[in-house]
Amino acid sequence: MAVGIFDSGLGGLTVLDAAQARLPEVEFVYLADSAHAPYGVRTADDIFDLTCAAVQRLFDAGCDLVILACNTASAAALRRMQESWVPADKRVLGVFVPMIEALTERQWGDNSPPREVGVQHVALFATPATVASRAFQRELAFRAIGVDVEAQACGGVVDAIEDGDMILADALVRSHVDALRRKMPEPQAAILGCTHYPLMQEAFQEALGANVSVYSQAGLVGESLADYLERHPDKMGAGPGAFLTTGDPKTVSQRATQFLRRQITFEAA
């Protein structure tokens, strides 16, 4: 039994780590499209094509359910995939749903009209492609009213993390928070809209201040996945777990081991 987790690079390891902690009995196949990372500066069509190719590789590995642990892919490709590409016996889910459930305090299946929620000023930190898609604002508007979302495209942060340059990543985070505050001086909550960003959560929190609630996706996605599999046990899939990459396995393994602080060995996808 295996569930697929896909990311353009290593950021999705934050989701994998939380999912493994929550579901130790489940095998996971993780695929990093490192050869084409980052996705955040690509066109929507390019992101769609790359994401479909990666998800097909996970289907071929025995996964009936794939989590797009990549906000850019979730924003730019997921809806189009679900409407025109995903086979009837497979499922592909994104990472926006658990975040919006947490922010609005209502379940995804709750189809009642949009209503006021506890926060009115929300900062969204994401890749340029995710910001351009406005997917987060669109999905939020279905469930909440009166929420002002100010998005900040965080160019360079994913590249710095993938390169292992955390000093540069820290400096970029602070620069992007400063830019956000010039547009929204007092956000009540902040969404880390990229699965790489939990690795920089302390930097975001420090730059934003203790009075801002910072929402990180990893734990939320882990809980949501556990709930989904309880309701859909037929989507557990088959086959052994694995770590796959389209990049150089040795380099990706070294970076992944640094991120998770445990030995991770990738194979060529």
Residue 63 annotated in active site: no
Residue 154 annotated in active site: no
- What pairs with residue 257 in β-bridges? none
Determine the distance from the C-alpha atom of residue 214 to the mean position of all C-alpha atoms in its chain, rounded to a whole number. Answer: 15
Determine the distance from the C-alpha atom of residue 33 to the mean position of all C-alpha atoms in its chain, rounded to a whole number. Answer: 14
Residues 6+ apart with CB under 8 A from 108: 97, 100, 101
Q: What structural domains and CATH numbers belong to the chain?
A: 2-94+218-268 (3.40.50.1860), 97-217 (3.40.50.1860)
4-46 pLDDT per residue, tens: 999 999 999 999 999 999 999 999 999 999 999 989 889 999 9
Marked catalytic residue, from 52, 63, 70, 154: 70
Marked catalytic residue, from 52, 63, 154, 194: 194
Residues 6+ apart with CB under 8 A from 65: 3, 4, 90, 91, 92, 93, 228, 229, 232, 235, 236, 237
Q: What confidence score (pLDDT) does residue 53 get?
A: 98
Whole-angstrom distance, CA of residue 117 vs CA of residue 110: 14
Residue 43, CA distances (Å) to 38, 39, 111, 191, 269 in order:
12, 8, 32, 23, 23
Give the pTM: 0.87
Q: Which of 80, 52, 76, 47 is nearest to 66 (CA)?
A: 52
Whole-angstrom distance, CA of residue 46 vs CA of residue 29: 23
Q: Is residue 238 a contact partner of residue 4, using CB atoms and an 8 Å limit?
A: no
Q: What confidence score (pLDDT) does residue 260 get?
A: 85
Q: What confidence score (pLDDT) does residue 206 get?
A: 97
105-136 pLDDT per residue, tens: 776 556 678 888 889 999 999 999 999 999 88
Average pLDDT over all residues of the chain:
92
206-229 pLDDT per residue, tens: 999 999 999 888 888 888 899 899
Average pLDDT value for residue range 250-257? 94
Q: What confidence score (pLDDT) does residue 110 get?
A: 67
Average pLDDT value for residue range 87-97? 92
Q: Which of 90, 95, 58, 56 is nearest to 75 (CA)?
A: 95
